Amino acid sequence: MLTIMYCILGLLGALIVFMIVRTILTKPIPVVKNEFVPKGVDADLAAEHLSGAVKFKTVTLTSPLAETDVFYKFQDYIEQCYPNVFKVARKTLINRYSVIYVVEGSDSNLLPVAMLAHQDVVPAPEEGWIVPPFSGEIKDGYVYGRGSQDMKSQMIAALEALEILLKDGFKPKRTIYFCFGHDEELRGTEGARQISKYLQEQGIRFEYVLDEGGTILDGKMLGIDNKIALIGICEKGYADFILEVEKPGGHASSPSKRTSVGLLAEAVYFTELAQRPTFFAKPTKDMFKALAPYMKPIFKFLFVNRDILSPLLRLVLSKAHPMTNSLVRTTITPTMARGSDAPNVLPPRASANINCRINTGETIEIIERHIKKVVGSKVKVRIDEGSVNPSEVSDITSPGYEVLKQTIAEVYNGYITAPFLFIAATDSKHYYPLSKSVYRFTPFEKTEDDASRIHGINERQEIKALATGVEFYIRLYQNSCG
């Protein structure tokens, strides 16, 4: 018995030594940076252009058959703001309101790059705003208004940067595509998907595609004394499951033993409780692998040995914060419920919406089986037709990813980059048939308060951060197309 115990202790000791040595040998990989001197962005002019862009009420059309001229007026506006870009850009309208602008490069042997943005914004009721939501008011160093962050700021930054370069005589070697959809907030089926389909028919392939998504965070929460720039290399799937219960209706004064609302409430309760198991998808493993060398000793020990300590790490991450929880599992969230139109009427039908963001490695079918098992046979489960599986995972060894890393390091003075599983949805998921290098990065530093304003009241874009975003695109064009 003692012999067995000694053997176990010996193996445990050897494992601990192995983990310590492994931690010590894990070193940061230096990023080779070229000297970057900012070109002197006119922040006030960029803010003025963004302010004007916000004034166009380009709210997502709820029906593909809806008619409006606001997207055409918005396009006319940005074309007037950037005369040097649109003197050379070729314009193609897609499915009425989406648009492609192409700036030809001098070397046709180089694959083009695509810069994405969406023209549409979510609705903005005026209640609670300190300024009208479509005023574009410039106030206290910010541009206020719906779309100022999501995502007219990124569109303006991308165009502003190329305008500055062209004015200074820059001649791109690589062709640049600007692809601006008009229904990203409704999953991009009428906009980005149609743009992608058109480009596939034209035989276009991209060196890389860049959209909104990844962000800049303070590394202290992971024991890193630096800022972290996360580049989204994929995105979670999106699925809405509708739970439905049908029971005889009637007056609430004489209810049946089980009502449709009661059964539905029970189903919703158990569905929310029965979350999917945690696991590290490959993009999350790659993120921790990239970040671990920069962490302080305890954090470094834990994340370098994440394969051995996986159960402990997954438990901690699932409890620490909603953001970290969403990185390690498919989230299952009740969002809407419908029943009777009157307080004293038993509805013959009650329904609820369960919104699921599906982790890479799982599918809509897996989640559907899970929910059906949880709610049982008395509750019908159907899938909304707009649901999509997780996107493909982009290559983190490609030239496109490397140029993003280099550009971030140069513009943001050595910020650490890492790949990232983007937990929301973007237009970029539609572009994988055109490139295996589809990335998501939003080049604006923002506070947690400002980030929480996206889709909320008092959305605003800091002007200083906007100017740095312009510098990011200037350097990206120089590194990619110069």
List residues with catalytic annotation: 120, 184
Read off φ and ψ for residue 232, nearest 5 degrees: -70, 125
Decide: residue 416, CB within 10 A, 0-12 exposed, 13-18 middle, 19+ buried: buried
* Residues pairing with 353 in the sheet: 242, 336
Give me the sign of the Cα torsion angle 208, 210, 216, 221: negative
Please spell the DSSP secondary structure of 279-293, one letter per residue: ---HHHHHHHHHHGG
Cis, bond preceding 151 (omega within 30 deg of 0): yes
Sheet holding 142-144, edge to edge: 138-139, 142-144, 460-462
CA distance 377 to 370: 13
Q: Are 471 and 158 in contact (CB under 8 A)?
A: no
Provide the b/e sequence for 134-168 (b: ≥16 CB within 10 Å). Answer: bbbbbeeebbbbbbbbbbbbbbbbbbbbbbbbbee
Task: Give the amino acid at 4.
Answer: I
